[in-house]
Amino acid sequence: MKCRVEGGEIVTDSLEFFLADTCNLACEHCASSAPLVKKANFPDLLEFKESLALLRRVMRSKQIKFLGGEPLLNKDIAKFLAAAKASGMFERVRVTTNGLLLDRMGEEFWHNVDVVEVSRYRSGENALADAPVTRIRETAFRLGKKLEVVEKPEFFAAVVDERIPDPETVARVYADCGEAHRAPCHTLYKGKLYRCSRVHTLDLRLSARGVPHAPFTDVDGLAIGPGLSADAVRVYLESPEPLNACSFCLGTSGRWLAQRQLSEKPGKKVAFSPDLLQQAPGLLRRMRERVLAR
């Protein structure tokens, strides 16, 4: 993906930030692997502010998107939203949530958020009911905030618990990855910038599963420091080389599967199979041939 450069600054559509790595739901095929993460790993507010101050010198984004895991599990969420607003780096502040805790959000939260995106999952006993959705709509309307309720009957298969055996497949999935290139989900995490949002949670997931892998969180990001240049950000974001994490990831090429809650955390290991990929001209056939030839 070619970065947009304006006045010497990199301009991106979105920057993502995890406010919690855990979640109060346990969706199968959660792209953030939240059901496998044991600790919330709440971020440090000061580190967040410092990273934004450094990043602001070389980059800005149309929006910052707070997510997780479930971001509303973070009791300091309003402080992070306020810090993002104060940074001057974003045109709008978005929170993506499963909505279960939205009723509890106070004035400071609503004051600092611009868009609340509720991913609505109807499976499982904890599904968000109609009554709270109505209340949330009323609150957002009264305060002049945008509310987007997105029904999620399906998920695409996102990550796997074994290395994808074929480097050609890894390269193709990466080249077609909407997270990295089309609707970029560039992510800020612990003082580093990542091309996509799956790196650190996939690292935690594989560690929880006992799967040998490279330390993605350490090696796949770009450190944000005083010497960071716009050119270094551009080169990192535009790189045609897959990340180490891509060897365990289906990007946005995974098959659509019915959304459901796991009856038990962390759920079964997800083995790699070409069947987990969407039908794509030539790709599935070539992979089947390779698997059969193994």
Least separation in angstroms between residue 226's CB and ligand SF4 is 27
Closer to ligand SF4 by CB, 147 or 199: give it.
199
Q: How near is the Cβ of 30 to ligand SF4 at its closest, in Å?
A: 3
For the bound state, the minimum distance from the C-beta of residue 40 to ligand SF4, rounded and expressed in Å, comes to 12
Residue 23's CB is within 10 A of a number of other CB atoms, namely: 24
Q: Which residue lies nearer to ligand SF4 by CB, 70 or 161?
A: 70
The alpha carbon dihedral of 37, 42, 47, 48 has a sign of positive
- The nearest distance, CB 51 to ligand SF4, in angstroms, is 20
Cis peptide bond prior to 266, omega within 30° of 0: yes
Q: Which is nearer to ligand SF4, 58 or 214 (CB)?
A: 214
Residue 9 or residue 117: which is nearer to ligand SF4 going by CB? Answer: 117
Amino acid letter for position 203: D
Q: How far is the CB of 53 from ligand SF4 (least distance, A)?
A: 26
Residues within the interface to ligand SF4 (CB under 6 A): 23, 25-27, 30, 32, 34-35, 68-70, 98, 119, 173-174, 177, 179-180, 195-196, 198, 242-243, 245-246, 249, 251
The distance of closest approach from Cβ of residue 247 to ligand SF4 in the complex, given in angstroms and rounded to an integer, is 8
Nearer to ligand SF4, 60 or 213 (CB): 213
Nearer to ligand SF4 among residue 108 and residue 154 (C-beta): 154
If the CB atoms of residues 94 and 195 are measured against ligand SF4, the closer one turns out to be: 195
DSSP assignment of the chain equals: -PPEEETTEEEEEEEEEEEES--SS-BTT-TT-GGG--S--PPPHHHHHHHHHHHTTTEEEEEEEEEES-GGG-TTHHHHHHHHHHHT-EEEEEEEE-STTGGG--HHHHHH-SEEEEEE--SSTTPPPHHHHHHHHHHHHHHT-EEEEEE-SEEE--B-SS--S-HHHHHHHHHT-IIIIIS---EEETTEEESSS-HHHHHHHHHHHT-----HHHHSSEE--TT--HHHHHHHHH--SPPGGGGGB-TT-BPEEE--B-SSSS-------GGGBPP-TTHHHHHHHHHHH-
Residue 194 beta carbon to ligand SF4: minimum distance, rounded to whole angstroms: 8
